[in-house]
Amino acid sequence: MAVTLHINGSATRVEADNDIPLLWVLRDQLGLTGTKYSCGIGVCGSCMVLLDDMPAKACLVKATECAGKKITTIEGLADQADHPLLKSWLELQVPQCGYCQSGQIITAYALLSNKRDPSADEIDQAMSQVLCRCGTYPRIRQAIQQASELMRAKDPS
Ligand code: FES
Ligand code: FES
């Protein structure tokens, strides 16, 4: 069946069988390969996207369930290179192999969008949804904390 998805600010018509996960539509039909496939069973978080601004694992969500919702993938953040989170990520050289990183950044972006001053525990809890086999967790936390400070310094309200 055909379904209209709203991805990164554009409406896109795709063919989606009833059970096809959003991840396959993003990667195979639309070429949005920044969203990664790893476990495929909702464990690793590499496939994280934002659904109505909340993190969601694209391997678990059916594409048909996403009609009418706002979908944001890592490609959707491409025009926000000056966002404190992305700047901190680069400055602290968070990635190693990079495979998990789009899921990490999407999840961190959602965290800071909903809470500008998360505690270390809140960061760890939010980021526990995304696994990193390279063990970049300390730098991930540091980058989020730095971004939080930059965001609050820029706009103290
Ligand atoms: S590929 Fe979706 S959670 Fe691992
Ligand atoms: S940077 Fe390699 S898996 Fe996270």
Mark whether 93 and 64 lie in a shared domain.
Answer: no
CB-side neighbour CA atoms (13 Å) of 53: 5
134 close to ligand 2 (CB < 6 Angstrom): yes
Q: Of 53, 77, 101, which residue is a domain's last?
A: 77
Give dist(CA 17, CA 147) in Å, integer.
Answer: 40
Which atom of ligand 2 is the closest one to the Cα of 132? 4
Mark whether 57 and 95 lie in a shared domain.
Answer: no
Give the pairing of strands 2-7 and 70-72.
parallel
Residue 15: phi, psi to the nearest 5?
-90, 125
SS3 36: coil
Find the CATH number of the domain harbouring 115. Answer: 1.10.150.120
Best residue for ligand 2 mutational test, from 43, 107, 132 (most atoms within 8 Å of Cβ):
132
pLDDT band at residue 66 under the 50/70/90 scheme: very high
Mark whether 135 and 73 lie in a shared domain.
Answer: no
Q: Which ligand is nearest to the CA of 102?
A: 2
Q: Of 36, 56, 77, which residue is a domain's last?
A: 77
Segment 120-148 shows an average pLDDT of 97
CB atoms within 10 A of CB 106: 26
Give dist(CA 10, CA 12) in Å, integer.
Answer: 6
Mark whether 6 and 45 lie in a shared domain.
Answer: yes
Give dist(CA 147, CA 112) in Å, integer.
Answer: 8
Mark whether 20 and 56 lie in a shared domain.
Answer: yes
Mark whether 55 and 105 lie in a shared domain.
Answer: no
Mark whether 107 and 148 lie in a shared domain.
Answer: yes
pLDDT of residue 1: 87
Mark whether 73 and 99 lie in a shared domain.
Answer: no
Q: Which ligand is nearest to the CA of 100?
A: 2
pLDDT in tens, 7-43: 999 999 999 988 999 999 999 999 999 999 999 999 9
Segment 115-131 shows an average pLDDT of 97
Q: Of 57, 77, 97, which residue is a domain's last?
A: 77
Cβ neighbours of residue 144 closer than 8 Å, sequence gap 6 or more: 85, 88, 108, 111, 112, 118, 123, 127
Mark whether 63 and 108 lie in a shared domain.
Answer: no
Give dist(CA 128, CA 134) in Å, integer.
Answer: 14
pLDDT of residue 157: 73
Mark whether 73 and 88 lie in a shared domain.
Answer: no
**Domain limits for position 115:** 84-154
101 close to ligand 2 (CB < 6 Angstrom): yes
Q: Is 52 left (phi over 0), alpha (psi -120 to 50) or beta?
A: left
Mark whether 50 and 90 lie in a shared domain.
Answer: no
Can you say how many angstroms the Cα of residue 44 is from the centroid of all Cα atoms in its chain? 13
**What's the total number of domains in the chain?**
2
Residue ranges lining ligand 1, Cβ < 6 Å:
37-40, 42-47, 57, 59
pLDDT of residue 156: 80
